[in-house]
């Protein structure tokens, strides 16, 4: 009699566990269905046509940051022989005979390959070396610095970030408060006059000339 009652109790306990397990499964499935249903409706209720798009701040990517490999190759194909030697093969042009060494025109100097802004004419000075010299890059530009151990010297080479072009070298003997002298090859530069900056996509940099 006692054995029968104990077995009966064990069976009853097992049935209760199974019932709880079934209830748990049902609740879990119900929760998933509700989540999918209400989640779907939440997105469906958003009417994009009625959304005020004037509140959305859309940032355009500058063209020099988003050039395709094909566009880069096209720019390289348009380089002169001297520009290729200087920008792509780390060459150095002759002093005092290059295009911008004594230029005083107001405007922006950009990378000859990518077109990325590099230097302002406001920061250009006559270093007496025969190459364009600047005491700083234009604001918002990152010039890449590389240790150069060629020709038995240790110097700081400077390169453009997006164009990956050899620009020249950086020295710590500048005459202004920065103490810097960016000695740059004209062959690695392209000049954008202030009057043409806006139409050529450099309108955001006009403020630095006011």
By annotation, the residues acting in catalysis are 183
In 3D, which of 182, 149, 152 has the Cα closest to residue 167? 182
Quote the CA–CA distance of 113 and 194 in Å, as a whole number: 20
DSSP characters for 45-107?
A: T--GGGS-GGG--PPPPPGGGS--HHHHHHHHHT--HHHIIIIIH---PPTTSSTTTT----E
Tokens of 146: 């590389």
DSSP characters for 143-194?
A: -EEEEE-GGG--EEEEE-TTT--EEEEEES--SSTT--EEEE-GGGEEEEEG
Sheet holding 117-120, edge to edge: 117-120, 107-111, 189-193
């Amino acid at each position: 009699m006692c054995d029968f009652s104990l077995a009966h109790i064990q069976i009853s306990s097992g049935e209760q566990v199974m019932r709880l397990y079934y209830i748990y499964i049902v609740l879990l499935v119900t929760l998933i269905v509700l989540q999918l249903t209400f989640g779907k409706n939440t997105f469906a209720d958003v009417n994009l046509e009625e959304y005020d798009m004037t509140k959305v701040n859309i940032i355009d990517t500058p063209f020099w940051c988003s050039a395709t490999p094909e566009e880069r190759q096209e720019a390289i194909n348009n380089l002169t022989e001297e520009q290729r030697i200087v920008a792509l093969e780390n060459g150095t042009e002759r002093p005092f005979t290059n295009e911008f060494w004594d230029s005083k025109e107001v405007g922006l100097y950009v990378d000859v390959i990518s077109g990325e802004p590099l230097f302002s004419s406001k920061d250009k000075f006559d270093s007496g070396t025969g190459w364009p010299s600047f005491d700083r890059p234009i604001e918002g530009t990152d010039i890449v610095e590389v240790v150069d151990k060629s020709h038995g010297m240790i110097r700081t080479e400077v390169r453009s970030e997006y164009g990956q072009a050899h620009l020249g070298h950086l020295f710590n003997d500048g005459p202004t408060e920065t103490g810097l002298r960016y000695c740059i090859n004209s062959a690695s530069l392209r000049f954008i006059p202030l009057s043409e900056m806006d139409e050529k996509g450099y309108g955001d940099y006009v403020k630095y000339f006011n």
